[in-house]
Amino acid sequence: MSPENRNYLPESDVIGLNLKETELTLGLPGETRVTTDTGVKLGTKRGFSETINLNLGRSNVKCHDKVCDDESENDVLGGATKSLTEKAQLVGWPPVRASRKNVMKSGKFIKVAVDGAPYLRKVDLEMYNSYQQLLSALEDMFSCLTIRTYLNPCFYFLFLHHNYRISMLSMYNFVCNFDIGNYLSEKKLMDPANGVEYVATYEDRDGDWMLVGDVPWKMFVESCKRVRLMKSSEAIGLAPRTPQKCSNTA
Amino acid sequence: MMNYFPDEVLEHVFDFVTSHRDRNAVSLVCKLWYRVDRFSRQRVFIGNCYAISPERLIARFPGVKALTLKGKPHFADFNLVPQDWGGYVQPWIEALARSRIGLEELRLKRMVVSDESLDVLSRSFTNFKSLVLVSCEGFTTDGLAAIAANCRFLRELDLQENEIEEKKNHWLGCFPDSCMSLVSLNFACLKEINLAALERLVARNPNLRSLKLNRAVPLEVLQRILMRAPQLVDLGTGSFVLDHDSDDSETYRKLRATILKCRSIRHLSGFLEVAPRCLPAIYPICLYLTYLNLSYAAGIHGSELIKLIRHCGKLQRLWILDCIGDKGLEVVASTCKDLQELRVFPSDPFGAGHDAVTETGLVAISSGCPKLNSLLYFCQQMTNAALIAVAKNCPNFIRFRLCILDPTKPDPVTMQPLDEGFGAIVQSSKRLRRLSLSGLLTDRVFLYIGMYAEQLEMLSIAFAGESDKGMLYVLNGCKKLRKLEIRDSPFGDSALLRDVGKYETMRSLWMSSCEVTLGGCKTLAEKMPRLNVEIINENDQMEFVHEDSQKVEKMYLYRTLVGPRKDAPEFVWTLE
């Protein structure tokens, strides 16, 4: 998938999207899905990462646990975490000395800071194949956060409905007016306890602070020096526009 | 006629014969020449420390001043040889010390060196000048402290890719203030260093020509060191990054100014950590470089490498990572017209290979750099057509080592084995001495090697061949073969035993994961008493079944004048 169409999906494709197919659930892959009266699926309370299997305009390649092929580089919702043991490893091959192997396999550990958290954490970016995996890992690390994605509004709004009593009707209105194209690659984290939203930003090699998610994953890994989860309220000029709050007609 | 010259004249003439092989040949001419060579020989090379004993060395060459010793087999570099296999330098140093040999230079490769050995070394030879350790292990910085403290006339301490345990001592500070004789210092393989001691050392050693720092040396310190030592010819930078302090632009500016004064630098390496935006600081010296080694600089992108290379018009030797890409190699080809040696290392051996090189880059290089004679090339794929083109463009290869990361990959265009391509190389490069093969290969490539590689001395084979015929072609055809190392190839007893006398003309043979059996190795050992046939068995001794039909996992055999070694560990079984 070329970078140009990665961030934008034309209207016709949106209509053609089978929302049911792309629906997120909280269950693990393979778990039976229980449907409610509203037709929305429920599952046990877990993170999103295990269930994401979204293909945008490509052939349907499921990659739950297998190592993804090269095409998943730009797919922000790619498959399983990279595992060296899954690839064939020969002893003593390629024939390079230990000192060179160390240079190559050193991993890319970067600091992660969350505004308001008392200490920082470190993650090895080479452990992940996609933005989704990284954000899931951050979600685990900073357990107060959950990933909020605009990609599947249905579940998100269910979440809001249950936690914040926003009516289903007003959310339906919202979906109809929603410009999904701009937010395909948007990733935000949220602390559901206080509703504070965080925007994932990173410092690149030139020292500039960038929004996470704009460049292909591998490019990000190479250029990222550290990550900061910045409060949305502070991310003026950097954070994407939040969707217009729709009027509550409930 | 030479018999009428006094010995001193002969000696003087022999002084001009510097290559140790030529000196060996000289010693075989007649008894007189043997005697003159024997007493005048100062430099001795021993390619296998188990082929001869220190006592015999001393008996024959009592005047030895410079000794080179090699220990473990080459495949030990790739973890194929277990720990504690051997290769200890201790008996050598003890024997030399006991006999009061005036040792001045010691060069060791793949040997086990202990702190005690270094201590004895430092105390036993008053004129000791040069210690070079390559791929060695077993010692700590305490041993280095002894060398620094006791070798009053030390000129060279060169540590290349060793495994050194680093203690809290400041070994560098053990060089006395009176030590002002250093010409070459390389500690790039260490993780730490005492920066203050380093700066003081550099300041009082004006003859320093070669200095290779480690990653603990930051840019500010590098700048100060270069101020003190603008006469450096060979520089290995340490860390080449600037953090985001306010002083940074000042440091960078000073660095640039200082580098402009270092007009003598011809060899540049290091960049163990690098921020690409600092690279322009070295552009002014790139113009004069003849050797550039960026093979540890993982932080530099292909595009930045290209920008750098464009400044290096006089390069003769380039070591680089494959993230330079085929495009980058095209730039090398158009910029570095004097290139003789190229090494392209893999940056991500287990990765998907996004930034890597293919046959395209190699063909470009061969096309632009006809002087190329030494190649080490790790790549994603190779084609016969490309190798044939390379052979045509560069008929002067002395060393040709190709490593396709997927070891049995065929020509991706034709799906054929790479026999024809390698055949073209050996046929065209008549002076080829070293060859490493990879990719899908049948017996045919060995037929070509046996036919054409007349000067071949070292051959490395992995995952190649179909039958014993392959190995036989090589053993029969390559008259000058000295070292043969084979892994994961279907060669068995029939090939091994066809010409047992051949192995006495060679230094060593390594075979692992092949088809040779215990019985075959035993037969060989019985027939050839002057070979040590060692079986490495890493499994539990109790479980090892002594069945002659059992395949041997790892076999290493070498010619020797001193019989089975007495320091072999339990898992090494020398057959007799």
Q: What are the tens digits of pLDDT across the range B135-173?
A: 999 999 999 999 999 999 999 999 999 999 999 889 999
CA distance B295 to A12: 49
CA distance B248 to B253: 8
Name which of B567, B537, B566 is nearest B82 in CA terms.
B537
Q: Which residues of chain A lie closer than 8 angstroms to B189, CB-CB? A: 99
Q: Is pLDDT above 80 for A13?
A: no
Phi, psi of B224 (to 5 degrees): -70, -35
Restricting to B residues 330-359, those with a Cβ less than 8 Å away from any Cβ of A are: 345-350, 352, 354
pLDDT of A90-100, one tens digit each? 889 899 998 88
Lowest mean pLDDT among A70-74, A235-239, B59-63: A70-74
Q: Is pLDDT above 70 for A224?
A: yes
**Which of A94, A98, A99 shows the shortest C-beta gap to B349?**
A94
Phi, psi of B197 (to 5 degrees): -60, -35
Restricting to A residues 50-89, those with a Cβ less than 8 Å away from any Cβ of B are: 70, 73, 84, 87, 89
The C-alpha of A130 sits at a distance from chain B's nearest C-alpha, in angstroms, of 15
Check residue A89 and give its pLDDT. 65
Check residue A245 and give its pLDDT. 43
Q: Which residue has the higher pLDDT, A162 or A59?
A: A162
Q: Do B79 and A92 touch (CB under 8 A)?
A: yes
Q: Is pLDDT above 60 for A248?
A: no
Does B474 lie at the interface with A, CB-CB under 8 angstroms?
no
The strand pairing partners of A230, in sequence order, are A199
- Look up the ipTM and state it: 0.90
Buried b / exposed e along B83-94 (16+ C-beta atoms within 10 A)? eebbbbbbebbb
The strand pairing partners of B555, in sequence order, are B511, B535
Check residue A8 and give its pLDDT. 41
Q: What average pLDDT does this structure show over B241-245?
A: 71
The C-alpha of A83 sits at a distance from chain B's nearest C-alpha, in angstroms, of 10
Top residue of B72, B74, B77 to mutate, by most chain A CBs within 10 Å, is B77
Check residue B247 and give its pLDDT. 61
3-state secondary structure of B556: strand
The C-alpha of A101 sits at a distance from chain B's nearest C-alpha, in angstroms, of 8
pLDDT of B307-342, one tens digit each? 999 999 999 999 999 989 999 999 999 999 999 999
Amino acid at A65: D
Q: Which residue has the higher pLDDT, B561 or B5?
A: B561
Does B487 lie at the interface with A, CB-CB under 8 angstroms?
yes
Phi, psi of B26 (to 5 degrees): -55, -40
The C-alpha of A66 sits at a distance from chain B's nearest C-alpha, in angstroms, of 15
Q: Which residues of chain A lie closer than 8 angstroms to B75, CB-CB? A: 92
Q: Do B78 and A93 touch (CB under 8 A)?
A: yes
Number of H helices and number of E strands within chain B?
20, 25
Q: Do B407 and A90 touch (CB under 8 A)?
A: yes
Cβ–Cβ under 8 Å, residues B50 and B88: no
Cβ–Cβ under 8 Å, residues B79 and A92: yes
Lowest mean pLDDT among A47-51, A119-123, A214-218, B369-373: A47-51
Amino acid at A186: E
Which stretch of DSSP H or E encloses residue B292? Answer: strand B291-293
Check residue A150 and give its pLDDT. 44
The C-alpha of B162 sits at a distance from chain A's nearest C-alpha, in angstroms, of 8
Contacts of B146 by beta carbon, 8 Å cutoff, 6+ apart: B115, B118, B119, B121, B122, B123, B174
pLDDT of B203-221, one tens digit each? 999 999 999 999 999 999 9
Does B301 lie at the interface with A, CB-CB under 8 angstroms?
yes
Q: Do A96 and B298 touch (CB under 8 A)?
A: no
Check residue B325 and give its pLDDT. 93
CA distance B264 to B289: 9
**Which of B77, B244, B378 shows the shortest C-beta gap to A97?**
B77
Q: Do A104 and B346 touch (CB under 8 A)?
A: yes
CA distance B485 to B509: 6
Q: Which residues of chain B lie closer than 8 angstroms to A89, CB-CB? A: 350
CA distance B271 to B253: 18
Which stretch of DSSP H or E encloses residue B520? Answer: helix B518-527
Check residue A54 and give its pLDDT. 34
Check residue A159 and give its pLDDT. 59
Q: Do B347 and A104 touch (CB under 8 A)?
A: yes
Q: Which residues of chain A lie closer than 8 angstroms to B296, CB-CB? A: 100, 103
3-state secondary structure of B67: strand
- For chain A, the DSSP string reads --HHHHS---HHHHHH--HHHH---SSPTTPPPEE-TTS-EE--S--SGGG----SSS-----SSSPP-GGGGS-TT--SPP-GGGS---TT-S---HHHHHHHT---EEEEEETT-SS-EEEEGGG-SSHHHHHHHHHHHSTT-EEEESS-HHHHHHHHHHHH---HHHHHHHHHT--GGGGTT-EEEEETTTTEEEEEEEEETTS-EEETTSS-HHHHHHHEEEEEEEEGGG-TTTSPPPPPPPP---
Does B184 lie at the interface with A, CB-CB under 8 angstroms?
no
Q: Which residues of chain B lie closer than 8 angstroms to A220, CB-CB? A: none
Q: Which residues of chain B lie closer than 8 angstroms to A99, CB-CB? A: 161, 189
Does B378 lie at the interface with A, CB-CB under 8 angstroms?
yes
Q: Which residues of chain A lie closer than 8 angstroms to B78, CB-CB? A: 92-93, 95-97
Which stretch of DSSP H or E encloses residue B468? Answer: helix B468-477
Residue of B nearest to A87 (CA): B350
The C-alpha of B111 sits at a distance from chain A's nearest C-alpha, in angstroms, of 15
The C-alpha of A114 sits at a distance from chain B's nearest C-alpha, in angstroms, of 20
Burial of residue A164 (number of CB atoms within 10 Å: 0-12, 13-18, 19+): exposed
Q: How far is CA B391 from CA B6, B397, B424, in A?
A: 50, 9, 6
Q: Which residues of chain B lie closer than 8 angstroms to A222, CB-CB? A: 301
Handedness of CA B171, B172, B176, B177 (dihedral sign): negative
Amino acid at B513: S
Residue of B nearest to A88 (CA): B350
> Where do runs of H (alpha helix) occur along B242-343?
248-261, 283-286, 302-309, 325-335
**Which of A89, A93, A97 shows the shortest C-beta gap to B161?**
A97
Does A100 lie at the interface with B, CB-CB under 8 angstroms?
yes
pLDDT band at B545 (very low <50, low <70, confident <90, very high): low
ω before A216 within 30° of 0 (cis)? Answer: no
Contacts of A136 by beta carbon, 8 Å cutoff, 6+ apart: A47, A48, A49, A147
Top residue of A71, A86, A93, A128 to mutate, by most chain B CBs within 10 Å, is A93
Check residue A42 and give its pLDDT. 42
Q: Is pLDDT above 50 for B465?
A: yes
Check residue A17 and give its pLDDT. 44
Top residue of B74, B78, B214, B357 to mutate, by most chain A CBs within 10 Å, is B78
Does B423 lie at the interface with A, CB-CB under 8 angstroms?
no
Of A37-41, B7-11, B323-327, B415-419, where does the model show the most confidence?
B415-419
Q: Is pLDDT above 80 for A47?
A: no
Report chain B's mean pLDDT, rounded to a whole number. 94
pLDDT band at A77 (very low <50, low <70, confident <90, very high): very low
**Which of B347, B350, B436 shows the shortest C-beta gap to A87?**
B350
Q: Is pLDDT above 60 for A133?
A: yes
Burial of residue A163 (number of CB atoms within 10 Å: 0-12, 13-18, 19+): exposed
**Which of B75, B345, B354 shows the shortest C-beta gap to A100?**
B345
Burial of residue B429 (number of CB atoms within 10 Å: 0-12, 13-18, 19+): buried
Does A236 lie at the interface with B, CB-CB under 8 angstroms?
no
The C-alpha of B304 sits at a distance from chain A's nearest C-alpha, in angstroms, of 13
Q: Is pLDDT above 70 for B74?
A: yes
Check residue A59 and give its pLDDT. 35
The DSSP symbol for B54 reads H
pLDDT band at B554 (very low <50, low <70, confident <90, very high): very high
Burial of residue A23 (number of CB atoms within 10 Å: 0-12, 13-18, 19+): middle
Q: What average pLDDT does this structure show over A164-191?
A: 54
Does A111 lie at the interface with B, CB-CB under 8 angstroms?
no
Does A244 lie at the interface with B, CB-CB under 8 angstroms?
no
Q: Do B276 and A205 touch (CB under 8 A)?
A: yes
Q: How far is CA B150 from CA A239, B172, B211, in A?
A: 63, 12, 21
Which stretch of DSSP H or E encloses residue B221? Answer: helix B219-228
Name which of B506, B538, B533 is nearest B517 in CA terms.
B533
Q: Which residue has the higher pLDDT, B509 or A241?
A: B509
